[in-house]
Amino acid sequence: MLIGAHVSPAGGLWKSVERGVDLGAESIQIFNQSPRMWKPTAYGEEDFAKFHEALAASPIRAVLIHAVYLVNCASDDPEIREKSLASLTHSLRVGDAIGATGVVLHPGSAKTGHVGEAIARAGEVIAEALASSERCALHLEDTAGAGGTLGRSFEELAALIDAAGGSERLGMCLDSCHLLASGYDIRTVEGLDATLKQCDREVGLSRLHSIHLNDSLSTLGSNRDRHAPPGKGELGLAGLAVFLSEPRFDDLPVVMETGSDNNAIAAKDMALAHELRERGQKERAG
């Protein structure tokens, strides 16, 4: 298991590697552009070379890119659709250039429209973005289910993958906070096992390529996406220990997005995650 953190690339793409190392991360996740702006960051070959050099000298073994939250592949607004396609394609191309494990994407929102039609629209955009990039994988993230967000169930994730053409480059990123908020009780070994078996039936665990580790301020089935620092939410330390000790996650990047330093991740959060993993493994062993 490659336990890591979302970090900033401010000051240079390679700076994200330095920040990850400072935290004790084994994986990192970045935004490849400002999450509040459509304009992409114009990285060049020198940026990519410095990134590769920093990465090779570090203990970090997986890099994720998170597509910006402005992207809505399911939008029926032609302008938003085109901006979403351009942004997602750019993220995948940056992923190609830096050898990212994958780009993580919130699939989009139907808002108040028909979910099936929104899934079809999202599939078209995703397929176009994959066709306009070379090799970087795309990980569709499950959502908490507020409003018309897509990906609130394994059934919807499966439908999105099908609508996008079922490419081998399509995978999943499961978020612990989102799973709980969308109604999957993953706080016990039995509950998590049942959830993953359902995921395997409906999507296939072979498509599970990354994990987000977040506690949840919102209760089970609330459909509210509100992250909490580790141990400060409804999952709690016990639930996070279960999640971190899941054997089916052993080879995956497990990225923390919310921490104890004014919601930013601190080195002590990374250390806590490792402690909870050990605790969970001991409890599973009896």
Per-residue pLDDT tens over the stretch 147-174: 889 999 999 999 999 999 999 999 999 9
Distance CA 9, CA 262 (A): 19
Confidence of residue 275 (pLDDT cuts 50, 70, 90): very high
What is residue 286's predicted lDDT score, i.e. its pLDDT?
Answer: 80
Would you say the pTM of this structure is higher than 0.75? Answer: yes
Confidence of residue 8 (pLDDT cuts 50, 70, 90): very high
> What range defines the domain where residue 94 resides?
2-285
Quickly tell me which residue has 């220990």 as its tokens: 241
What does the pLDDT look like over 234-272, one tens digit per residue?
A: 999 999 999 999 999 999 999 999 999 988 999 999 999
What does the pLDDT look like over 63-106, one tens digit per residue?
A: 999 999 999 999 999 999 999 999 999 999 999 999 999 999 99
What is residue 42's predicted lDDT score, i.e. its pLDDT?
Answer: 87
Give the total number of structural domains in the chain.
Answer: 1
Query: Does 112 score more than 80 pLDDT?
Result: no
Query: Does 204 score more than 80 pLDDT?
Result: yes
Please report which helix (H) or strand (E) contains residue 278, including its range: helix 267-285
Q: Over the chain, what is the mean pLDDT?
A: 95
What is residue 213's predicted lDDT score, i.e. its pLDDT?
Answer: 97
Tell me, what CATH number does 132's domain have? 3.20.20.150
Helix segments in 105-225, DSSP class H: 115-131, 154-163, 176-181, 189-202
Confidence of residue 208 (pLDDT cuts 50, 70, 90): very high
What is residue 110's predicted lDDT score, i.e. its pLDDT?
Answer: 86
What is residue 34's predicted lDDT score, i.e. its pLDDT?
Answer: 87
CA 270 to chain centre: 17
What is residue 36's predicted lDDT score, i.e. its pLDDT?
Answer: 84
Please report which helix (H) or strand (E) contains residue 209, including its range: strand 208-213
Confidence of residue 111 (pLDDT cuts 50, 70, 90): confident
Distance CA 228, CA 176 (A): 11
Looking at per-residue confidence, does 262 or 282 come out higher?
A: 282
Distance CA 101, CA 119 (A): 25
Top-ranked range on mean pLDDT: pick from 37-41, 106-110, 120-124 = 120-124
Confidence of residue 35 (pLDDT cuts 50, 70, 90): confident
What is residue 266's predicted lDDT score, i.e. its pLDDT?
Answer: 95
Distance CA 202, CA 199 (A): 5
What is residue 3's predicted lDDT score, i.e. its pLDDT?
Answer: 98
